[in-house]
Structure 1
């Protein structure tokens, strides 16, 4: 049975609201939760970008059962990998073992703020490869010195180390990232139901490990309102990862999605209150081989109505997958 998770979208709600939402998701019976880690929203209409790690700390104290996870953090530009290791170890302690560290090679939208430029995807994956090694070394609790191609670590050590380190997930989008994840990750992260990604992951050492997908939905009893909101806030998602990783500001996403129509969004995102439409979309992930699926409800103000609907109607249907 595929586990169903809830996404705290930092681009569409403030920090206190995000904590309230994950508390309600735990109460509704979701199996796990994830959180985006951004410094900008994709579109100005989304309107938010609080610091994900502060929200996670509050969520760890406000909840007692639901697992927490970054989806995903980039440990190579805004954050040095040694800093990410310390944050992740602390979250694992605060949550009493409920935290998983999801990592990725990043998006220009978030990482450009530190002024280090934006290299090619190949270089970004090399940086991620090196960063994951540093993080794992620090999770041991030993003193670590590393002088690599991209990162320097001098006599670093974590003084508060959980007995069980946070599992590390790596986001994939193609063969090179799948190979990296197969070598280094405890679980795979993806946003598309592509069986080929899971096959590549398995071929490089990922066989038998969890595979987590993510899927947007837009619940509303009024389907037309749901379609309009999905278009207003989530039309950027139809651009694909190759484009989305490169654009530096929300204005770029506005321009790139200027000709995306409401009907285009409605074809790719289940909108309204049709349970079967969501189940059909989720089935593609189950059939591809994903073991977990995190749902994204579009629209910050609609989270609590969505969670009530999910508890009574959607989750029971999805558990049949």
Structure 2
């Protein structure tokens, strides 16, 4: 049975707005939360980038829902040992209701130390080693590690969860999906691609969880909703590896000039047609996803939560 969660966008909303959305999501009947981990927003129109670990601490005191990062890069901006400490503390605060979604990252967030941006093959190797380091630290034992990418010297986490902390690995292609199946406890991908889910399961994923997310813009005025989505999230439609290699919001704004309003209208679920929202989310269930997180674009959060509580979630569960 697919679970339906709410996606908190750290790039688009202030910390206070994110906490309010989490409370509204719980009241509306969403059963889980996901939250993005960014140093920069994708563009200046989004205008935010709260520190995810502070936000998770606040969420643990505000709501009772499980929380998953979608996704954290544990390889460059933060050393995997530091990420492991943050994740372990988050899991303890949430009573074990935390999952660490990880990925190979984007230059947008990870270039800030001034190092060169590695190739995908190098980043995948870094991620695999980072996951190994974090799993060792989650045991609460003393860890020393000398690897190709990371060194850990007699480190021990004293605050660790009682139960194993699941690590879900993000992937957008077959090779990465196989890596996720081999090293992850679950798979994160943002499109309802049954073939990619199959590659994950055949690559070692078996019956492990598959997790995804989608952005919509609920509004009684579809034209306004399309305008809002086009202004705030044209980056969702950038092709290929651009999302991984462009280093600044200004570069994303330049690339987004290629994304037309019509492209957004065709690709993003906008407006208040209940059946369209239901179908958008249900596509993930049909593709074999265990969890799907829906994020509302723009300021009309109250009408979104009302509509999903009264109309969309009941239809999905019915």
TM-score (norm. length: structure 2): 0.97
Higher mean C-alpha displacement, 126-135 vs 261-270: 261-270
Q: Distance in 2 between matches of 1:104 and 1:163?
A: 25
CA-CA distance at 1:198 after TM superposition? 1.1
Q: Distance in 1 between matches of 2:101 and 2:200?
A: 16
Contact 1:89/1:165, CA 8 A, preserved across alignment = no
Q: Which residue in the other structure is 1:105 paired with?
A: 104
Aligned partner of residue 75 in structure 1, secondary structure: coil
Q: Which residue in the other structure is 1:53 paired with?
A: 53
Matches within 5 A, 1:289-308: 289-299=288-298, 301-308=299-306
Q: Which residue in the other structure is 1:278 paired with?
A: 277
Contact 2:221/2:271, CA 8 A, preserved across alignment = yes
- What residue ranges of structure 1 are gaps of 5+ in the alignment? none
Aligned partner of residue 300 in structure 2, secondary structure: helix
- What residue ranges of structure 2 are gaps of 5+ in the alignment? none
Report whether the alignment pairs 1:242 with 2:241: yes
Compared with structure 1, are the counterparts of its residues 241 and 136 closer, same or farther at alpha carbon in structure 2 (3 Å cutoff)?
A: farther
Matches within 5 A, 1:156-171: 156-171=155-170
Contact 2:193/2:287, CA 8 A, preserved across alignment = yes
Q: Distance in 2 between matches of 1:237 and 1:194?
A: 16
Q: Distance in 1 between matches of 2:179 and 2:140?
A: 24
Q: Which residue in the other structure is 1:311 paired with?
A: 309
Q: Deviations over 1:265-295 (max 9, x none)?
A: 0111100111111122223222221121111
RMSD: 1.1
Matches within 5 A, 1:1-321: 1-64=1-64, 66-240=65-239, 242-299=241-298, 301-320=299-318
CA-CA distance at 1:241 after TM superposition? 5.1
CA-CA distance at 1:315 after TM superposition? 0.9
- How many aligned positions are there? 318
Runs of 4+ aligned structure 1 residues displaced above 4 Å come to none
CA-CA distance at 1:178 after TM superposition? 1.2
Q: Distance in 2 between matches of 1:148 and 1:23?
A: 42
CA-CA distance at 1:240 after TM superposition? 3.3
Q: Deviations over 1:119-139 (max 9, x none)?
A: 101110000000000000111
Compared with structure 1, are the counterparts of its residues 241 and 96 closer, same or farther at alpha carbon in structure 2 (3 Å cutoff)?
A: farther
Aligned partner of residue 169 in structure 1, secondary structure: strand
Contact 2:238/2:259, CA 8 A, preserved across alignment = no
TM-score (norm. length: structure 1): 0.97
Q: Distance in 1 between matches of 2:119 and 2:185?
A: 26
Aligned partner of residue 245 in structure 1, secondary structure: helix
